């Protein structure tokens, strides 16, 4: 594909989203290398992201640029790179989220460095969607999300809680401190273990380095926040069977996850390559099949619009404190990480990605479950 043909094709596509090349709107793009046009059309998401990292193009409002593209589904009209088909076949033949790979994949993201996440996240290091109802700051919104989660689980003093994918210990610290419960948290990230144990010092919290498939015991409540995206479609059913086995008969299980509008067995190629290797967003259909016959669905809460605002807050924190860590990470990382946060914000704004909290019981709550918002 020659440069002129590629540019004209790209101009025609972008025009449908109200985007111009070298335009004056903040969502318009500025192209500095004409190779961008062919790369974007031939390699799709991967080409667009990699060319941005190489400074071939720029945009002052990436979040709005992608929101506009996704609202009119332009992403579906760009040719998908042949490597993507290889990824799809590979994901169907092999379990890309095995126990061994789960520890390897954690190193690609969560072990990048606590210094990065300390500057980007809120004071409690919550790396999942905040709840902005009646909140003005990120710290307030994340505290409200943690409290919302505890209230949905109907926590009582002395309960034993399992936190699957505990991150840096934010939920464990909050639940143990505010609701006087005992928490066992697991993560596959050594960096998170170190930070979580420090954050939860003096509280009845046990942070363990292990994969969820190594869990044993019975718990009054189970919570999993922002971890199910790493389970993989081949493991959805076995994951739910394990949660069922570890939950007491009168217990509750709250699952907090990003979700997709359609069922898929592969992830976005740029995200899968540079940000979350081995990740996959579940669909309602896939989750429904996984829980069928095991759990009673008590509540399903979608507050995905809050993720747009959360990601923008993270981006603001990241950029405002970049100078403190730039010597370690470098300019290419800065463009990659900014791109990741703003692309995701645009996706939630366009309602292509969802954020769900679902509450499950084993036998149904007598008299019915009282939804909490």
* Residues with active-site annotation: 344
Q: Counting Cβ atoms within 10 Å, is residue 373 exposed (0-12), middle (13-18) or buried (19+)?
A: exposed
Annotate 226-283 with DSSP letters as a single string: S-GGGT-GGGHHHHHHHHHHHEEEEEEEEEEEEEESS--SS--HHHHHHT-TT----B
Ramachandran region, residue 258 (left: φ > 0; alpha: ψ -120 to 50; beta: rest) = beta
- The string over 230-240, giving b where at least 16 C-beta atoms fall within 10 Å of a residue's C-beta and e elsewhere, is bbbbbbbbebb
Tally DSSP H helices, then E strands, for the chain.
15, 9
Query: Residues for the chain: how many in total?
Result: 373
Taking the C-alpha atoms of residue 44 and residue 78, their distance in angstroms, rounded to an integer, is: 6
CB 295 within 8 A of CB 253: yes
The distance of Cα 244 from the centroid of its chain, to the nearest Å, equals 24
The structure tokens listed for 48 are 């667009």
Element (H, E) at 309: helix 305-320
Among 25, 52, 46, 41, CA closest to 74 = 41
Taking the C-alpha atoms of residue 186 and residue 192, their distance in angstroms, rounded to an integer, is: 10
């Amino acid at each position: 594909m020659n440069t002129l043909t590629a540019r004209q094709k790209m101009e025609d596509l972008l025009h449908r989203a109200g985007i111009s090349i070298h335009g004056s709107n903040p969502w318009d793009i500025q192209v500095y290398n004409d190779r961008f046009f062919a790369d974007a059309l031939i390699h799709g998401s991967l080409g667009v992201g990699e060319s941005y990292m190489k400074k071939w193009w720029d945009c002052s409002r990436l979040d709005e640029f992608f929101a506009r593209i996704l609202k009119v589904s332009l992403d579906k009209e760009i040719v998908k790179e042949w490597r993507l088909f290889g990824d799809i076949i590979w994901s169907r033949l092999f379990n890309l989220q095995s126990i061994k790979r789960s520890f390897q994949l954690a190193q690609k993201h969560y072990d990048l460095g606590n210094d990065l996440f300390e500057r980007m996240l809120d004071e409690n290091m919550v790396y999942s969607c905040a709840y902005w109802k009646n909140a003005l700051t990120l710290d307030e919104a994340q505290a409200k999300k943690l409290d919302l989660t505890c209230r949905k689980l109907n926590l009582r003093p002395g309960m034993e809680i399992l936190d699957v994918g505990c991150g840096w210990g934010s939920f464990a610290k909050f639940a143990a401190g505010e609701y006087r419960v005992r928490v066992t948290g697991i993560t596959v990230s050594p960096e998170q273990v170190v930070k979580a144990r420090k954050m939860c010092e003096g509280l009845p919290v046990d942070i363990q380095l292990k994969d969820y498939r190594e869990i044993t015991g019975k718990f009054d409540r189970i919570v999993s926040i922002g971890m199910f995206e790493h389970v993989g479609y081949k493991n959805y059913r076995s994951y739910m069977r394990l949660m069922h086995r570890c939950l007491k008969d009168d217990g509750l299980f709250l699952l907090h996850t990003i979700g997709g509008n359609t069922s898929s067995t592969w992830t976005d190629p740029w995200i899968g390559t540079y940000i979350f290797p081995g990740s996959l967003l579940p669909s309602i259909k896939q989750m429904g099949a996984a829980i069928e016959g095991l759990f009673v669905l008590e509540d399903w809460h979608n507050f995905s619009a809050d993720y747009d605002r959360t990601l923008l807050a993270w981006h603001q924190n990241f950029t405002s404190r970049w100078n403190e860590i730039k010597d370690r990470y470098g300019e290419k990382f800065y463009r990659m990480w900014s791109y990741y946060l703003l692309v995701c914000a645009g996706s939630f704004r366009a309602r292509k990605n969802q954020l769900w909290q679902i509450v499950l019981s084993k036998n149904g709550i007598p008299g019915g479950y009282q939804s909490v918002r």
